[in-house]
Chains A and B, each alone.
Chain A
Amino acid sequence: MNRKIVSSALFYLAVAAIVLVVLFPFLWMLASSFKTQVDIISWPPKIFFSPTLQNYRKVFGEQDFLKYFLNSTIVGASAVGLSLVLGLPAAYSIARFRQRKLAVFILLARLMPGISFLMPWYIVFSRLDLMDSYTALILSHILIALPIVVWIMSTYFSTIPPEMEESAMVDGATRQYAFWAIILPLSGPGIITATTLSFIFSWNNFMFSQVLSMEKTKTLPIAVYNFLSYAEVDWGGVMAAAVAIMAPAIVLTMIFQKYVVKGLTMGAVKG
């Protein structure tokens, strides 16, 4: 009996330790975004302070934050949208015609360091006069989103019995129509998982935008980075901007976490 209490106490202690390690930077950031510059750099750190919205006012007022926000949204949504258009049929084909090697190949593209793509892209896009264009940025972000879509969805599709579309095909459908009318409507959870994850990865991407975008198409992570390099470091502004960037990703995850966890674990077990 005693041993049980001890072991469960140890368990929760471990959980608390892990949660603290994971959440501490986030909490620090959140608290700092509501602090004045003086409070932020004071030592020992102030746990109780009078919160201010000054930092947020500065971020959204002085900086053109809304524009960067919009850029990130345009790039992320377009890249994910195109990846779904290309990736769903590809994933279906991989699942049904057992092209597992192709799937691994696509995943490899994701595992290669992104920076190795940047040099050729830089040359190609500048020759085509596509630097600082949405086109270039969206195309580069497809490299982030497409492998996620293909990988998650090919696993998902292979859990749907093939008799579904075979039955539709005998009933008079083409394979394409069966995919559209039968398979896609059954794939909601998988599509939500793939969309959420690939959008967040695109949203958080720093490197591609840093090289391929300039003032017009600058995305959020670059904007925050630029915060740092100007004059003195405005910690309060950086923290507020970081919170503003993270918020959509966190909200998305919280809304869809049920599906995301299901989608990911399913991939893990069935893969």
Chain B
Amino acid sequence: MAGVVLRKVVKQFGAVKAVDDLSIEIQDKEFAVLVGSSGCGKTTALRMIAGLEAVTSGEIYIGDTLVNDMAPKDRDIAMVFQNYALYPHMNIRENMGFGLRIRKIPKAEIDARVEEAADILGLGDLLDRKPKELSGGQRQRVAVGRAIVRKPKLFLFDEPLSNLDAKLRVAMRAEISKLHRRLGATIIYVTHDQVEAMTMANRIFIMSKGILEQSGAPMDVYSKPANLFVAGFIGSPAMNFIDATLVAADGGLVIDTGSFRVRAPDSFASRLGAHAGRKVVFGVRPEDIAARAAASVDEGNTFAAQADVVETLGSEIFVHLTCGAHAIVSRMEAPESPLRVGDTIEVQLKMAKTHVFDPETSLTLV
């Protein structure tokens, strides 16, 4: 098992920088998820770690070994591809044993390891079938099985669940997490799905346009996004961004959006003080907007808004609100008397959880 270090890694395709000055450090036995929208360089980064793509500049270490010029076969890694890349002309047993046969491992041991992996993944009955006779979910398991029989230092997953239907994806997510604990291996997992990233990762690396935007534990990234991009990317539905002006008033700071005014908590004052009188972006997660409880005291965090669209999910509802010029999405508990389109409701923000961004640098102020 081994950690992985990328130091100032650059990958250039012609004039395009797919990965730009990427430095990340992944600990031994960590489940690291590279996440970002398509074209952000996450897959390119993974392929460079695998050795399938040459590094333009920078250094990649697996364990303590510099692997820049090492062939993929010598890196002691296993990779699961998005389209599984099973060999159609071999049965499942041969597919899973392929890497071991190349390494001239005795046949008895290959058989034992394949059986073991098949047991773990519930593929026991399918070993003599060809890949085309298997369902998508089963093929996915075989691809994972082919990786684990090798017992490599490092597992690489390239969007392995994106070809599965939603239900299967949830099941496989849990299964891969379980596998990670069982194998005690280092895993680098690439996905565009922030839900996968949040649920599976020990640490998330959020990329955009070839650059690492932020890394950290899922909850840290969620509650303390470094900038506007990360704040908008993590969380579903996405965070509401509202253009506002920071005003000094009533002995504190007030966020004035033009449509409503809310009072910034005193704890924000030290970091926002210098920005009084300037334009800011006010960020509120949908889940931090609730209907105002009748008995609650107004602490300068409520305003009235009109419900435009109400999406009922069962235990909770998504409400698309309009307040003046602003459209805001909120996610709240389903009220006892159903909310109707056109209703005006009092909403209340959990101000301590809101964020304020600098529109010029797009960095987080609070």
A interface residues, Cβ below 8 angstroms from B: 161, 163-164, 166-174, 177, 182, 185-186
Contact = CB atoms under 8 A, between A and B. Distances in A.
11 contacts: A161-B83, A166-B72, A169-B52, A170-B72, A170-B78, A172-B99, A172-B102, A172-B150, A173-B102, A177-B102, A182-B87
B85 A163 contact: yes
Given A182-B87, A186-B88, A171 B81 contact: no
- Contact size class for B? 20 to 34
A170 B77 contact: yes
A171 B71 contact: no
Given A164-B85, A171-B78, A171-B99, 16 more contacts: A161-B85, A163-B85, A166-B85, A167-B81, A167-B85, A169-B51, A169-B72, A170-B75, A170-B78, A170-B79, A171-B146, A172-B99, A172-B103, A173-B73, A174-B71, A174-B73
Contacts of B146: 167, 171
Interface string B94-114: 000011001100000000000
> What 9 A-B pairs come out closest when comparing CB atoms?
A171-B99, A163-B85, A167-B85, A172-B102, A172-B73, A170-B79, A169-B72, A163-B81, A185-B89
Contacts of B88: 186
Contacts of A185: 89
B321 interface: no
Given A163-B81, A163-B83, A169 B71 contact: yes
Nearest to B82: A163
B319 interface: no
Contacts of B87: 164, 167-168, 182, 186
Residue among A161, A164, A171, A172 with the highest chain B CB neighbour number at 10 A: A171
B50 interface: yes
Main secondary structure on chain A at its contact with chain B? Answer: helix
B73 A170 contact: yes
Contacts, number: 58
A42 to B, nearest CB: 59
B52 A186 contact: no
Interface in B64-84: 71-73, 75, 77-79, 81-83
A185 B77 CA distance: 25
Given A163-B83, A182-B87, A186-B88, A168 B98 contact: yes
A171 B103 CA distance: 9
Contacts of B99: 171-172
Contacts of B150: 171-172
Residue among A164, A168, A172, A174 with the highest chain B CB neighbour number at 10 A: A172
B86 to A, nearest CB: 8
B162 to A, nearest CB: 14
Contacts of B51: 169-170
A168 B50 CA distance: 12
A180 to B, nearest CB: 12
A167 B89 CA distance: 14
A93 to B, nearest CB: 17
Contacts of B78: 170-171
B174 to A, nearest CB: 25
A167 B102 contact: no
Nearest to B80: A167
A173 B98 CA distance: 9
A79 B150 CA distance: 42
B98 A171 contact: yes
B188 to A, nearest CB: 13
A114 B330 CA distance: 75
A131 B75 CA distance: 54
Residue among B75, B87, B89 with the highest chain A CB neighbour number at 10 A: B87
B37 to A, nearest CB: 22
Interface string B166-187: 0000000000000000000000
B154 to A, nearest CB: 11
Contacts of B102: 171-173, 177
A164 B131 CA distance: 13
A167 B73 CA distance: 10
A219 B356 CA distance: 86
Nearest to A168: B98
A172 B50 CA distance: 12
A164 B85 CA distance: 5
B52 A170 contact: yes
A169 B89 contact: no
Nearest to B89: A185
A182 B86 CA distance: 10
A38 B77 CA distance: 79
Nearest to A185: B89
A207 B193 CA distance: 63
A177 B78 CA distance: 18
A186 B87 CA distance: 9
Contacts of A161: 83, 85
B83 A166 contact: no
A161 B88 CA distance: 12
Contacts of B81: 163, 166-167
A163 B160 CA distance: 13
B147 to A, nearest CB: 9
Residue among B73, B78, B89, B156 with the highest chain A CB neighbour number at 10 A: B73
Interface in B209-257: none
